[in-house]
Structure 1
Amino acid sequence: MEMSEEVHDAQGALEKKALQNVRGLVDKLEAERTPYARTLLLALILMVLIATVAVLPTLLRQWITPPPDKEVEARNLERARAATAAFQKSSASYLSNPRRTHVDAGMEPRFRKYVEACVARIYQAGAYEATTTGVEGKAVVSVAIRFDGVIEDVRVNQWSGHSAIEPMARRVVRKADPCGSFPEEIRKDTDILHFDAALYFGPAGRAQ
């Protein structure tokens, strides 16, 4: 790779300055008569040469590094502003009049993947709970999830078995919080998503 003219000029300036320093020290070396003084000056000359070689790459990088691209900075700033505006719009929509979508077993494909991922998280937490408590029973829960993935509400519609099943079901769902932000295909018309999940707690640590 050929060296650019700017790099070449910068390197030349540094080499010229270093050479001037060394020449000055050499002149002093020739003027000294005692061996001790000459030894000290010779060591100093070597130190100057070594230091110059060591700092040369750093100085070159500092001199030739181009300034930040203003157009790139402007584009990044515009993207950040757009993202902030989108978030503010989503938040305002949620606070003023949240759009709620209720889904069931016949849900659209765009909801299915997200709901299945959330239910899987709940099942995982339920399996751990069943393993550690040994409680058996079943609960059907209704879950409401906000656009940012936070579980807004949990309701136990029905439960059977041990009396601890109802609070356990609530606790299990809360442990799955958060479930991840809505993908764009859901976010475009939904602020809060509602779905039901059936949880079965058994001694083998199952939840389904």
Structure 2
Amino acid sequence: MISTHNQNDILGIGLFVATALHAFVILGITFKPFDPSKPEYQQQSLEVMVVRQPKQQPEEDEQADYLAQVAQSGGGEKRLQEKPQTAEPPAPPQAAQAPPPLQQPVSQTQPLTTAQSEQQAAVENRIVERQPMPTASQLLNSKNMEIARLTAELERKSEAYAKLPKRKAISASTKEYKYASYLDAWRRKVERIGNLNYPDQAKRDRLYGNLVLHVAVKADGSVDQIRVLHSSGHKILDDSAIRIVRLAAPFSPFPNEIRKETDILDITRTWQFLRSGKLNAE
């Protein structure tokens, strides 16, 4: 059995050792102020790289330059020691921006000058000012003047029309004796002159055909106008008909019963150049 004296010695030694250890620990730890500029206090970052799982695992390279989640094989002709980069998803397409609306030109009203303002006021006053109503006498005079003007204009037109020659159109179908008699005498003269001056070329080339000729004859028997209304198809025959009329002119003057009511006779006949070399004016 251990005596009380020995127990006290052991307890004293334990306390001494414990006190010495605590003093060593306390005195051995030093405290310094925090300085973020010093390298040891700068924040260390941890870079995490996510690699998509390939369809086929490449063979592991025992001499790999970097560590990754899965084995990767490099590509290219030149071997560069670079860290593999994580493929970033493509940026979403931006919606097409509508073009800015066109700015409408702002109409600027120019201020009116004093002279313009006075002129505009005078015009407005003249518009507002009412004209006096015409009296019955003024209306009657105005109406009479308008009637006189219309009457004078009608008289001028009547005089101009009266000066125009009086014309009468006749043809083979005319049955009135005084015109039919004159027309028959005109036809016989044309046929006689035409057969005497029948175109030689038409005889040589055996040309024949019909044409419609209009001849305007004045009261004294002279020719006013000659027109071919329908061609025969041969220029030599058309020209020969016109030449025969000029050779036969002048014709007989109008008799008194025709001269009283007619200044010009418009004679339309069909001229026939026959194969036999004769002229017939129907």
More displaced stretch, 189-198 vs 157-166? 157-166
Q: Determine which of 167, 177, 191 is the counterpart of 1:100.
A: 167
CA contact (8 A) 1:130 1:202 kept: no
CA–CA distance in 2 between the matches of 1:126 and 1:163? 16
In 2, distance between residues paired with 1:187 and 1:98?
Answer: 11
CA distance in 2, matches of 1:195, 1:102: 6
Distance in 2 (CA, whole Å) between partners of 1:107 and 1:157 is: 23
Question: What's the offset of the Cα at 1:125?
Answer: 2.1
Whole-angstrom distance in 2 between the partners of 1:138 and 1:125:
18
In structure 1, how many angstroms separate the alpha carbons of the residues matched to 2:261 and 2:236?
37
What secondary structure does 2:253 align onto?
coil
* Matched residue, 1:89: none
Whole-angstrom CA distance in 2 between matches of 1:154 and 1:97: 19
Distance 1:144 1:107 in 2: 19
Gaps spanning 5+ residues in structure 1: where?
1-94
Separation of aligned partners in 1, 2:197 and 2:209: 12
Taking every aligned residue pair, what percent have the same amino acid on both sides?
31
Q: Which amino acid aligns with 1:207?
A: L
Q: Does 1:130 align with 2:198?
A: yes
Please list every run of at least 4 consecutive aligned residues from structure 1 whose deviation after the TM superposition is greater than 4 angstroms. Answer: none
Q: Is the 8 A contact 1:130 1:136 kept in 2?
A: no
Which structure: larger Rg? 2
Distance in 1, matches of 2:200 and 2:189, equals 17
> Contact 1:127–1:201 at 8 Å: present in 2 too?
no
One-letter amino acid of the counterpart of residue 119, structure 1? R
Can you list the C-alpha shifts for 1:80-105, whole angstroms capped at 9, x where unaligned?
xxxxxxxxxxxxxxx93211011231
Q: Answer 1 or 2: which has greater helix percent.
A: 1
Letter in 1 for 2:163: S
146, 153, 156: which one pairs with 2:218? Answer: 146
The letter of the residue matching 1:185 is E
Asked which structure has the greater RCO (Cα within 8 Å, sep 6+), the reply is: 1
Q: Give me the CA root mean square deviation.
A: 2.2
In 1, Cα distance between equivalents of 2:273 and 2:193: 11
In the alignment, structure 1 residue 120 sits paired with structure 2 residue 192: no
Partner residue of 1:182 out of 254, 263, 271: 254
Aligned to 1:168: 240
* C-alpha contact (below 8 Å) 1:149/1:178 kept by paired residues: yes
Query: How far apart are the structure 2 equivalents of 1:202 and 1:127?
Result: 11
SS of residue in 1 equivalent to 2:186: helix
Deviation per CA, 1:42-86, whole angstroms, max 9, x where unpaired?
xxxxxxxxxxxxxxxxxxxxxxxxxxxxxxxxxxxxxxxxxxxxx
Distance in 2 separating the partners of 1:146 and 1:204 = 33
CA distance in 2, matches of 1:155, 1:126: 17
1:99-157 C-alpha deviation (Å, 9 max, x unpaired): 10112313411101111111111112221233633142221101110000001111111
| Distance in 2 of aligned mates of 1:150 and 1:109 | 22
Normalising by structure 1, we get a TM-score of: 0.50
